[in-house]
Structure 1
Amino acid sequence: MKLVIVDYGMGNITSIISALNFLGVDDVVVSNKPYILNSADKLILPGVGNYATAIAEIRKLNLDKRLEELVINQKKPILGICLGMQLLGCSSTESGFNHGLSLVQGVVDKFCSNELKVPHVGFNQVIPTQQSRLYSGIEGNPDFYFTHSFKMLSESSIGQSLCTYGESFIASFELENVAGVQFHPELSQKNGLHLIKNFIELF
């Protein structure tokens, strides 16, 4: 199995590769080249930083059209991590209004409460949706490591699992071959490794 991490210059790539290698996944390539992306069995879209900057870089590299072809038309599995998850949705209000990749129906906005310390940083509990593939074999309501200032919400059924930080928000989603996690599984110890393994084996 060949796993390609989509490289657009913003992402916690080294830690993701380390987690994948720990799980025995050795055929891991980091690239933004179309022919490399085309050869992938599965894709990971990482992301750390600003939404507006990230989506601009993705469009500059023509990755938006390539990902639409691979994920929507060819049904290649993709896992978005942190900002990468947000980019899979329709839009964000970070640094102004910006359209996303629109691979799922979700919108990104800042946390509403002025009483919250933002960014939301640290381990927090996730309530998995029923019949989840991502959380298969992970017991109870597991903890994962978060670091983010914006959250995703959706009025559509995209297989949301939820977390609460002053308000409820989407911690992860899974819709057919498209999955996203707001937290960093590569930094979430045993639970995170188990979730990555589930993506590799069950998607």
Structure 2
Amino acid sequence: MTIAVIDYGMGNLHSVAKALEHVTHENVVVTRDARRINGATRLVLPGQGAIRDCVGELERTELRGLVEELLASQAKPLLGICVGQQMLHERSEENGGIDCLDFMPGQVRRFPADMRDESGNRCKVPHMGWNLVHQHQDHPLWQGIDQDEHFYFVHSYYVEVEDDATLFGATDYGRVSAHVATGRDATFAVQFHPEKSSRAGLRLLENFVHWTP
């Protein structure tokens, strides 16, 4: 087994790779080589920063077409992380509006700048730190992870799904329910950072390593 962390220049590539190495003895590579990505048995699509830059770098490195082909075939498990989750949906409001990979129906929204919680306290944007994730559906990647477990977040934008069948987990921040775990077929994606989420994050990565869709 080889797990390929797709290197298009954006995201915590080596942090993700180190976390994967912690939970498996299988080969973990950070690569932008199309042959190595095609030859891998599992894929990780990370992302960090502005989505315009992430989509732009995916195109500049000539990996967008390959990623879209792999998504269409669903021949191997793929895990999206942070902006890697956002990119799998249709369109983001960020940077004046950016078309994404359109693999799952849904939009990427910005948290309101003046958002307040139910007590009237102002919520800071970006949403940064630990927050609980409520599981909406069972999934092999949730195995051994408690309902309403805490994960680590850093984001100003969030996914809003258009098909509940793709919704696997949500986080409440202020009065917004952010859809922070989404999936379809052999693809699962999370807004939070499993590599920074202690025991629960490592368990999710371990589950991904053993997942057979």
- TM > 0.5 between the two? yes
Q: In the alignment, is the contact (CA less than 8 A) between 2:4 and 2:43 conserved in 1?
A: yes
CA 1:74–1:161 in 2, change beyond 3 Å: closer, same or farther? closer
CA 1:101–1:165 in 2, change beyond 3 Å: closer, same or farther? same
Matched, 1:185 2:185: no
Matched, 1:162 2:170: yes
Q: In the alignment, is the contact (CA less than 8 A) between 1:90 and 1:106 conserved in 2?
A: yes
Q: Aligned equivalents of 1:53 and 1:98: distance in 2?
A: 10
Post-superposition CA distance 1:62-115 (Å, at most 9, x none): 222101212212522111101111111111111111111112112111012513
Q: Aligned equivalents of 1:41 and 1:106: distance in 2?
A: 27
Q: How does 1:18-167 map to 2 (within 5 A)?
A: 18-112=18-112, 114-115=114-115, 116-156=123-163, 157-166=165-174, 167=176
Q: In the alignment, is the contact (CA less than 8 A) between 1:162 and 1:169 conserved in 2?
A: yes
Q: In the alignment, is the contact (CA less than 8 A) between 1:71 and 1:77 conserved in 2?
A: no
Displacement after TM superposition at 1:129 (Å): 2.1
Larger deviation: 10-19 or 65-74? 65-74
Alignment length (residue pairs): 203
Q: In the alignment, is the contact (CA less than 8 A) between 2:133 and 2:147 conserved in 1?
A: no
Q: In the alignment, is the contact (CA less than 8 A) between 2:17 and 2:30 conserved in 1?
A: no
3-state DSSP class of the match of 1:144?
A: strand
3-state DSSP class of the match of 1:95?
A: helix
Of all paired residues, the percent bearing the same amino acid is 36
Report the TM-score when normalising by structure 2: 0.91
Displacement after TM superposition at 1:180 (Å): 0.5
CA RMSD of aligned residues (A): 1.3
Letter in 2 for 1:142: E
Displacement after TM superposition at 1:197 (Å): 0.8
Displacement after TM superposition at 1:26 (Å): 4.0
Runs of 4+ in structure 1 displaced over 3 angstroms?
A: none
Report the TM-score when normalising by structure 1: 0.95
Letter in 1 for 2:210: E
Q: Name structure 2 gaps, 5 residues minimum.
A: 116-122
Equivalence for 1:196: 205
Q: Aligned equivalents of 1:135 and 1:129: distance in 2?
A: 11
Larger deviation: 44-53 or 67-76? 67-76
